[in-house]
Chain A
Amino acid sequence: MRKKLYIYLLIAFTALSQILSSCNSCKKQDVDLSEDLVVPDSVVNYTPPQVGKAVTEQMMQNISSPVETAALIKGLKIPFNKNFLANTKHAENFNTNFEKAFALGLYGCDLGYLNMYEKTSFVVDYISVIKRLADDIQVGQFFDFSTLKRLATNNENLDSLILISQQSFNRIDTYLAETNRSMLSAVIVAGVWVEGAYLSSRVAQISTHPRIRETIGEQKTILNFLLALLKVYERDPSMAKLINDIEPVKQLYEKVRITYEVGEPEMVEENGVVTFKQTDKQIIEMDDELYKQLIDGIQQLRSKLLKQ
């Protein structure tokens, strides 16, 4: 009897240690188990189109980046303008998960612009909205709100502000893909693109720099990649509507002509750093009228999607 009790105790101890070690690994990955209990509304009512791993691996990894767009604008010595940004009050206009994902991308792009210009006084407002939107689509746990708020409030380590913002968005992207919600990831990318193109269009109205004209023109290439990504999910009614909303801008871009002159890259090694310099040239052709139409088209699209 005693021997049996002894064996039962050992088995119970083994089982307990297994459970403890499993919980330990969950804690290490910063996974909030309570999040698993939340059933997304998309699962309850409607299952968005699913995409296989092979297809997602072929998708462009960084169609639109807020950091590059903002850096290009700042690089042209264009002063910061708060009026270019989407008002955070508009965040209330986004109701469905689809709309919230779009808004997440849009405000994420604005955050990139603010970070690049080191306008930390506005950052807290934007990260608060982003955190709320991220929570609503059950990805808030990947947005390091407290660290970002501390960095912005104390005006400290602005490089970390950009790093953590970018990493938060990348983790959201990875998590959405892992939880079969890649469509929302694509919608976030669309939000980033629309806002990035809008910021460039506003700059285009105040600057005659040829690079900004080229930036507007080269959106043709980026929009083609974006639409290819969005069309993977076009069976979803919300996605079909978004694609339809973008269509007038897409049609305008069909009139833009982009050609390339191919060259061989050059390799230079200086102080142990190897730099490869591309020598290809891109030539973008569009007349002034088309340029103006593109600026108007992008601004109308953004206004519509922001529900202004």
Chain B
Amino acid sequence: MKKIFFALVLVMVGVSYFGKSAKAQSEEELVQICTMIAGDAEYLKDFRIKLDAGDPPPVQRFPIVLKKDVKYRFSVCNSKDFEGKVILQLFDNNRQLATTYIVATGKDYPYIDWVCTKTGAYHLVYSFRDGKAGLAVGLLSMVGTM
């Protein structure tokens, strides 16, 4: 009995102390990776996306302001700890303007560029392909002015 109790306590100590060191990929690390994916583009803002599995696929929306004559870069970066592969769709009201996943070709892009010709409100809509659970970071950066 004493041995079982001792073993139980050891397991508890191990889980509580050493379990923390086997840490999952953090959002900050994902931001850094995403910044590298964005290359020379100037960082503007990052968006943290964490969604549970669902059907229809759950989405996370971020309203943003984009400015005329600026070329933006939208990068995405998935956490290796989750199965979900993130998709970004850029909307202007209800119209899809751009996406990182082209359904017709099945191609997935780590970043896309957007040449803006109208200053105004846009919506970034993030979801995970096939409604899988996922953790990702989206990055908005500026390639330059036109």
Contact = CB atoms under 8 A, between A and B. Distances in A.
B125 interface: no
Closest 8 CB pairs of A and B: A75-B145, A276-B98, A275-B113, A218-B119, A280-B118, A278-B117, A277-B115, A163-B43
Contact of A260 (B5, B97, B118): B118
Contacts of A218: 67-68, 119
A286 interface: no
Contacts of B2: 3
Looking at chain B's contact residues, the main secondary structure is strand
Nearest to A112: B42
Interface in B13-54: 13, 16-17, 19-20, 23, 31, 35, 40, 42-47
A61 B115 contact: no
A214 B68 contact: yes
A163 B140 CA distance: 12
Q: How large is the interface on A (under 10, 10 to 19, 20 to 34, 35 or more residues)?
A: 35 or more
A240 interface: no
Given A14-B9, A276-B114, A67 B63 contact: no
A280 B117 contact: yes
A68 B16 CA distance: 46
B86 to A, nearest CB: 16
Contact of B16 (A10, A17, A159, A211): A17
Interface residues of B, number: 52
A64 B109 CA distance: 28
A282 B145 contact: no
Interface in A224-276: 225, 260, 265, 267, 273-276
Contact of A278 (B42, B97, B109, B121): B97
Contact of A222 (B61, B65, B92): B65
B116 A62 contact: no
Given A14-B12, A60-B121, A62-B45, 17 more contacts: A14-B13, A14-B16, A18-B16, A64-B65, A67-B142, A71-B142, A71-B145, A75-B144, A75-B146, A162-B42, A167-B43, A214-B68, A218-B67, A218-B68, A221-B65, A267-B98, A275-B114
